[in-house]
Amino acid sequence: MPNLFSDEVKKQRDKVRPLADRFRPRTLDEVVGQKHILSESDLLSRMIMSDSLSSAIFWGPPGTGKTTLAHVIANETQAHFKSYNAAMIGVADIRQIIEEARTRIEQNSGRTILFLDEIHRFSRSQQDVLLEAVEQGILILIGATTENPAYTINNALISRSTLFQLEPLTEEEIASLLRCALQEHRGVGALEVQVTDEAIEHWAKLADGDARRALNALEIAIGSSKEKHIDLEIAQQSIQKKAVRYDRHGDGHYDHASALIKSVRVGDTSGALYWLACMLEAGEDPRFIMRRMSIFASEDIGLADPRAMEQAASAWLIVERVGMPECQLTLSQLIIYLAQAPKSRAAYNAILQARDDVKNKRSVIAPTDHDSNILPTITATYFT
């Protein structure tokens, strides 16, 4: 029986919906950004427009449109669409959805699309429940994740899906989105608020590619100001400082370390200091950085400048004894030294080659104690 008050209930819910949710695009034409996968000639656009979508995984930072694309698909497709947050659904629910999808196919009632937001929160065993249904085409799976799928999603599930990587929006794209929200009734157009270009540019910059963050800042500025004119000062108060995208327990942790090492290796001092600053700003343990730099001093500099190891050892001792924030000076000094030092991997390559010979070639018998004056013959040359 239909709810006689459903329209009123919907209005009440709309009153508390955040601007980022109310202003979510409904069609592909309204989507801002992601032109590398959403142009008319690209695969995803063609699949959505022809309603021939196969299982897909959307991977990208927060606020780049992963959930938005799922909603667009829900509006464009003729399939039955079900949407859940992976953290809020269990195996029993998944099995029931699969059975309902199988029944629809058998009754010629259309296919079923299951959207799982934050699919990385779905355990490997839970993901296994989906495999057969996805492989047989009973269920079309769309997953959204901020984590690298290679580390968080079963390889078997990835191989049955098309992976689409979303990119952070540009400052121009976010500024355009904010201006649209100010003009359209679905946004805040009905309020007739005037916002300066400086305020919009400030939000676009500090949002750091996150459309949701920019729209939240706009909504906070309007809601907290009695005036209908938003200037740069109000804009600055409505958005927090830029958040560093960094996960100390995920692959971002190692991606930043890799970027730091690569910069030091090629002598890019400014780049190395930038990645060091990212890691420290995100709260990385300085001892983790020191371990990587100590390895670098031996592996990449080695005999080209033996003092690099002494510098690393001294820096590690200071970092252990002083701690943050003062030890950032020590880390900075060490990284500048290592970046500018000459590089040589001769010692590193030599021991690797020697160990490879020990494992894979004919053994050389070491002399016994009473043959201590006999030097065993080693024919290989590892270092010259």
pLDDT in tens, 111-168: 899 999 999 888 877 888 888 889 888 999 999 998 888 878 888 888 889 999 999 9
Neighbour tally for 293: CB within 10 Å: 26
Amino acid identity of residue 213, one-letter, is R
Neighbour tally for 315: CB within 10 Å: 25
DSSP assignment string, 104-124: HHHTT---EEEEEETGGGS-H
pLDDT at 56: 92
Residues 285-338 pLDDT 10s: 899 999 999 999 999 999 999 999 999 999 999 999 998 889 999 999 999 999
CATH no. of 251-340 = 1.20.272.10
Q: What is the dihedral of CA 30, 34, 38, 39, to 10 degrees?
A: 100
DSSP assignment string, 198-264: HHHHHHHHHTTT-HHHHHHHHHHHHHH-SSSEE-HHHHHHHSPPPPP---TTSHHHHHHHHHHHHHH
Q: How many residues does the chain have?
A: 384
Give the residue-averaged pLDDT of 203-208.
89
C-alpha distance from residue 9 to each of 40, 176, 195, 245 (Å): 38, 32, 32, 38
Residues 49-63 pLDDT 10s: 888 888 999 998 888
Highest mean pLDDT among 87-96, 167-176, 277-286: 167-176
The set of residues, in sequence order, having a beta carbon less than 8 Å from that of 219 and lying 6+ positions away, is 18, 19, 20, 188
8 A C-beta contact, residue 347 and residue 298? yes
pLDDT at 380: 75
The residues facing 144 across adjacent strands are 58, 117
Residues 60-79 pLDDT 10s: 888 899 999 988 888 888 88
Q: What angle do CA 112, 68, 79 make, to 5 degrees?
A: 15
pLDDT at 369: 67
Question: Could you give the CA distance from residue 290 to residue 316 in angstroms, rounded to a whole number?
Answer: 6
What are the sequence ranges of the domains in the chain?
A: 34-165, 171-238, 251-340
Residues 338-352 pLDDT 10s: 999 999 999 998 888
- Taking domain 171-238, whether its CATH number is 2.40.50.840 is answered by no
Question: Could you give the CA distance from residue 109 to residue 130 in angstroms, rounded to a whole number?
Answer: 21
Give the residue-averaged pLDDT of 86-92.
87
Fold of 34-165: Rossmann fold (3.40.50)
The residues facing 141 across adjacent strands are 114
pLDDT higher at 136 or 375: 136
Give the residue-averaged pLDDT of 231-251.
71
8 A C-beta contact, residue 257 and residue 279? yes
Q: Which three-class secondary structure state does DSSP give residue 147? A: coil
82: enclosing H helix or E strand = strand 80-85
C-alpha distance from residue 30 to each of 166, 245, 310, 311 (Å): 16, 27, 58, 55
pLDDT at 144: 93
The dihedrals phi and psi of 181, each to the nearest 5 degrees, come to -65, -30
Give the residue-averaged pLDDT of 274-280.
91
pLDDT at 251: 59
Model confidence band, residue 360 (pLDDT cutoffs 50, 70, 90) = confident
Model confidence band, residue 1 (pLDDT cutoffs 50, 70, 90) = very low
DSSP assignment string, 276-313: HHHHHHTT--HHHHHHHHHHHIIIIIGGG-THHHHHHH
